[in-house]
Chain A
């Protein structure tokens, strides 16, 4: 009898403990149910804010969390501190979800609400505007470099934003005159050589056909295959030029991101209110 009671008590305790570790979706559901049942709009935003914080405490920063941020009417948050925390986190979450327009919007709202000019806020500005507003970023970097000269490294973001490979027409004209030369100058020597061989071979073939008096063959091979190779060579030059441009831009961006990463290790930007 006593043994039976002890076993039952242990079983109940186990089930209670298991219930206590509710999975993320169940807890989110509980928050959502409270939100749904609440009739006061202000309180509702408070509950949603708690739900957002629950996501963050569980280390989740994905799309669903970003969507929750969009649902929250932050102007209805009564607690000024809570609003500041929300806007800060919303900026970071939007940034992590590659939602640059939203991160800029939340950052502007955050700055309006707090007039924060701390190093972290300035660094967040760099993060948000790094590829979209080089003037603003440079201004911030100038300010930050007074504190730490290392921030000057971040000026490279402006270079990335404004980067454009020059003399595109030169490469194209070069390929028009000597097939494959533009492609080769873009760093694709083998492709350039193949282009030259194909166009040259086609031209020679057409010439030979004319020599043999095969005029129909000359016209049809020349206009069909020869022209295709020739125009293909120009298109290839354009493609390789754009590839090279993107490659160099990526290279620059990666270098910059690495510098930013180092700075973020030194001055970490973390989620607030957790």
Chain B
């Protein structure tokens, strides 16, 4: 008898929970007023998972950005999420701007089989442009984004190793190659000065004199830094231009 009652109770609570409806207007109210604790408590009050709950949770993790939980909930409510183009656009924007490549790959891979909407097409193009810039045709982008993309693509065509090699031959040349003429001139003057000092002291005091050794050491340090700097200049410039391009693209949408 008791067993029966218990079974009925379980079935009753299960059915009640299954029929629980999320009040979309209330969720919007919580999101607009940035009531994070209440928002989380409300979503957690639904114990039985269902599609729309995952959709609202994905939106929650988009607002209080957590890419891992956003992706988890998104994959469990893909169709619902995909109907909300504003959500797709905002999530793509934030993932491109803030997430690690592994999350970016997972996010865009999950969109492959979905319908081709404006947001999907736009952000997929941005993603492709940033992951494979050399193979990407700039004409696939809106005209306003072509210039920042070309500037990024141009840097991607440059090789860091070549930058280092150029700096080895002529100090500062690697930075010049990276497109930093002021920095290149500075490196050239600095290395030239130390070389000149070393040459003068070696000529007048001999190669074993402490001053010559100090000068030669300083020259060696600056020379090696200049070689590494030639390499870093291109790597850093790539990152900088990529960030700039994504920021422009994210800002341009809408």
Would you call B200 and A217 a contact (CB within 8 A)? yes
Q: Which residues of B contact A28 (CB under 8 A)?
A: 35, 37-38, 41
- Please count how many residues in chain B sit with their CB below 8 Å of the partner chain's CB atoms: 28
Q: Which of A8, A213, A214, A215 has the most CB of B within 10 A?
A: A214
Q: Do most interface residues of chain B lie in helix, strand or loop, or is the interface mixed? A: helix
A94 to B5, CA, bound (A): 54
Near A by CB (< 8 A), chain B positions 20-34 give: 25-26, 29-30, 33-34
Contact with B along A13-46 (1 / 0, CB 8 A): 0000000000111101100110010000000000
Report the minimum CB–CB distance from A10 to chain B (whole Å). Answer: 13
* Complex CA distance for A26 and B42, rounded to whole angstroms: 8
- Verify if B167 is at the interface (C-beta below 8 Å from A): no
Q: Which of A1, A33, A214, A220 has a CB less than 8 Å from the CB of B1?
A: A1
Provide the residues of chain A in CB contact with B36, threshold 8 Å.
Answer: 64
Q: Which residues of A contact B211 (CB under 8 A)?
A: 209, 214, 217
B205 at the interface (CB under 8 A from A): yes
CB <8 Å contact, A214 and B196: no
> B109-128: which residues lie under 8 A (CB-CB) from chain A?
none
Q: Please state if B42 and A29 are interface contacts (CB–CB under 8 Å).
A: yes
> How many of chain A's residues have a CB under 8 angstroms from any CB in B?
26
Given the complex of chains A and B, what is the CA–CA distance between A221 and B200 in angstroms?
A: 13
- The one of A5, A23, A26, A220 in contact with B193, judged by C-beta atoms closer than 8 angstroms, is A220
Tell me if B200 and A25 are in contact (CB < 8 A). no
Q: A217 is contacted by which of B5, B38, B215 (Cβ under 8 Å)?
A: B215
Q: How far does the alpha carbon of A272 sit from the alpha carbon of B5 in the complex, in Å?
A: 49
In the assembled complex, the Cα of A214 lies from the Cα of B194 at a distance in Å of 13
Which residues from A are CB-within-8-Å of B204? 212-214
A1 to B34 alpha-carbon distance, docked (Å): 52
A192 smallest CB distance to B (angstroms) = 26
Per the bound structure, the CA–CA distance linking A203 and B2 in Å amounts to: 98
Q: Which residues of B contact A (CB under 8 A)?
A: 1-2, 5-6, 25-26, 29-30, 33-38, 40-42, 45, 193-194, 196-197, 200-201, 204-205, 211, 215
